[in-house]
A and B are shown apart, each in its own frame.
Chain A
């Protein structure tokens, strides 16, 4: 199934917007996680963790799902395909893995926000969890940068399935 040029451009716009938006939102999440871990201002720490939960649930999770969905539409609706090129396959795996890890890490984010909503956090409170959120957000940012780089550079390499499909198409187009 191949999309019309107009639909393809719309799908591409949606995919780029959601993917880059996801990257930017994770950068903001990382800034809040660092502020929550290092700030000496108790109100700033509470505000950071409350904002992190809101950012994650209202912005990051929807954008990650939108990025995955629009990526699937974009690849299946064009001649690029989903399993024909290694860079698309790797990007798909990255997106699926990042989305799963993100959904799993909503629990510690909500936990911290819940505590921050009730009382002031001392620097020792949930320290390991707070460090983990910084590390996770940093890792997520790195992974999303890799995915963005793959999408821009499109490194060469076709999968065996892609080569077979290409061979079939060439055979069919020859008289």
Chain B
């Protein structure tokens, strides 16, 4: 008889599931990449604008 698991009483394996290991590895790589990009200043853009841009309106009388 097949039974659909809908409640919390499921998944009683003793080791860490493969999907958690794969997920954790991908997350770790992405976080490291994000941190490295921000630390080296090679990100897509900072949170503060470059001075030339903020002064754009001032430079053009």
Chains A and B form a bound pair: yes
Chain A residues lying within 8 Å of B20, measured Cβ to Cβ, are 86, 90, 157
CA distance A78 to B49 in the complex (A): 47
Chain B residues lying within 8 Å of A129, measured Cβ to Cβ, are 45-47, 49
Count of interface residues, chain A, beta-carbon cutoff 8 Å: 33
Whether A156 lies near B10 (C-beta < 8 A) is yes
Whether A132 lies near B11 (C-beta < 8 A) is no
Whether B19 lies near A111 (C-beta < 8 A) is no
A155 in contact with B46 given A85-B11, A119-B57 (CB within 8 Å): no
Contact of A78 among B8, B12, B16 (CB under 8 A): B8
Whether B47 lies near A79 (C-beta < 8 A) is no
Chain A residues lying within 8 Å of B53, measured Cβ to Cβ, are 124-126
A158 in contact with B44 given A125-B53, A125-B56, A129-B49 (CB within 8 Å): no
The distance from the CB of B57 to the nearest CB of chain A, in whole angstroms, is 6
Chain B residues lying within 8 Å of A132, measured Cβ to Cβ, are 43-45
